[in-house]
């Protein structure tokens, strides 16, 4: 039934493969072996999926590799349909907009944090290229643990930046392009100890 809905058995198999392996890249012959489909059919569907934007490609060691685009607009609902995960996890992903995610508290509790912003894939309808901006004298280990927690919760990799307070303050004051990109896009202020963003 799902094959009919998505128009192709090969496409459905590809979606299962990519959405169950976020962050992992595959080359064509490896894909044909893993999903047991003809190479021409696989190439055609990969081309269609690239055009839509649900996968990306990169050339490494003279081989073209494909992986799921975790920034694709419908990544979360597609993952809910195709990824092999428990129903409770799927439900929590689909309803996470309804309540504040638990990791918001983790950001606020980071030692030394003075400003924390969520954007990009963490904020609905944000087009920011950065998902998390952390400002302050924050231990690298604490940042790594928090990011790993959020990535596990969101089922996708994050793009994040850590700045000292002085650098952030300077960049904010000169209307730095990087900071402006985050602030002019949809974002959520998680921490602002000095009300610098008001």
Reported as a single tens digit per residue, the pLDDT across 75-103 is: 878 887 777 643 333 333 333 443 456 77
Nearest CA-CA partner of 25 in 62, 55, 50, 53: 55
CA dist., res. 181 & res. 59, Å (int): 29
Q: Summarize the confidence of residues 125-146 as an average pLDDT.
A: 91
pTM score, whole prediction: 0.57
85 secondary structure, DSSP code: -
Q: Residues 82, 120: one domain? A: no
Flag whether 198 is in a domain: no
Q: Residues 180, 108: one domain? A: yes
Nearest CA-CA partner of 22 in 75, 91, 94: 75
Highest mean pLDDT, choosing among 14-23, 99-108, 129-138:
129-138
Flag whether 175 is in a domain: yes
Q: Residues 79, 107: one domain? A: no
Interstrand relation of 113-118 and 132-136 (parallel, antiparallel or unpaired)? antiparallel
Q: What is the percent of the chain with per-residue pLDDT over 90, rounded to a whole number?
A: 40
Q: Residues 38, 56: one domain? A: yes
**Residues of the domain holding 89:** 2-93
Kindly indicate the confidence band of residue 2, based on its pLDDT and cuts at 50, 70 and 90: low
Token duo for residue 185: 């896009």
Give me the pLDDT at residue 176, please. Answer: 92
Highest mean pLDDT, choosing among 72-81, 121-130, 160-169:
160-169
Token duo for residue 30: 């490896």
Question: Number of structural domains, the chain?
Answer: 2
Reply yes or no on whether the pLDDT at 186 is more than 70.
Answer: yes
């Amino acid at each position: 039934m799902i094959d009919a809905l998505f128009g192709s058995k090969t496409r459905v198999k590809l979606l299962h493969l990519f959405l169950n392996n976020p962050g992992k890249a595959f080359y064509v012959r490896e894909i044909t072996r893993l999903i047991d489909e003809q190479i021409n059919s696989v190439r055609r569907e990969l081309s269609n999926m690239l055009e839509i934007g649900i996968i990306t490609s990169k050339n490494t060691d003279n081989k073209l590799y494909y992986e799921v685009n975790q920034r694709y607009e419908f990544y979360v609902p597609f993952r809910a349909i195709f990824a092999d995960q428990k129903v409770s996890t799927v439900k929590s992903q689909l309803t996470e907009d309804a309540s504040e995610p638990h990791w918001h508290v983790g950001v606020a509790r980071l030692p030394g944090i003075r400003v924390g912003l969520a954007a990009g894939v963490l904020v609905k309808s944000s087009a920011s290229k950065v998902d998390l901006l952390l400002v302050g004298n924050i231990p690298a280990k604490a940042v790594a643990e928090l990011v790993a927690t959020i990535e596990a919760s969101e089922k996708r990799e994050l793009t994040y930046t850590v700045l000292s307070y002085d650098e952030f303050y300077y960049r904010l004051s000169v209307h730095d392009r990087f900071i402006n990109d985050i602030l002019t896009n949809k974002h959520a202020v998680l921490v602002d100890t000095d009300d610098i963003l008001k």
